[in-house]
Amino acid sequence: MTESLNNSKQQGSFYEQAALNYLLEQQLELIEKNFQCRFGEIDLIMQDRNTLVFIEVKYRKSAHFGDPLEMVSKTKQRKICKTAQVFLQKQGMNEYNTFCRFDVVSIKGPAASTEITWLKNAFNGV
């Protein structure tokens, strides 16, 4: 399988799909994939009961250069939050009338044997 993942865009799509499948198994509902605006991109937007969840997916082949959960910098967090605000506005919602959460899904290991970790409320957002 890893032979077909020969560029970072293909790898990103593959591991985002793996994260999506995992979260669907956890009873979350997909709202949108790869939402983009001028501030950035949100990998997955899902519904967890009454909460809108903005999810960043991080993949690392190994933890040698740090755990993927540690790879969401403060700058990246700000970009995700601004992007989430744009999404909410486009939907006619805002952070005052919508329960929101920011999660990170970490995927480690080769494609054949990945380890998925889901960190809820990974950082404070909007």
CA distances (Å), origin 86, targets 40, 43, 83, 92, 100: 10, 14, 5, 10, 13
Higher pLDDT, 61 or 122: 122
Confidence of residue 96 (pLDDT cuts 50, 70, 90): confident
pLDDT for res 94: 84
Q: What percentage of the chain exceeds 70 in pLDDT?
A: 85
Give the start-end residues of each E strand in the chain. 29-37, 40-48, 51-60, 100-108, 115-119
> Within 72-125, where are the H helices?
74-90
Q: What is the mean pLDDT of the chain?
A: 87
3 pLDDT higher than 50: no
* Number of neighbours of residue 50 by Cβ within 10 angstroms: 7
d(CA 120, CA 114) in angstroms, rounded, equals 19
Residue of 50, 20, 51, 52 lying closest to 34 (CA atoms): 20
Domain boundaries, the chain: 2-119
pLDDT for res 2: 43
Has domain 2-119 been given CATH number 3.40.1350.10? Answer: yes
Instruction: For 57, list phi and psi in degrees, rounded to 5.
Output: -105, 130
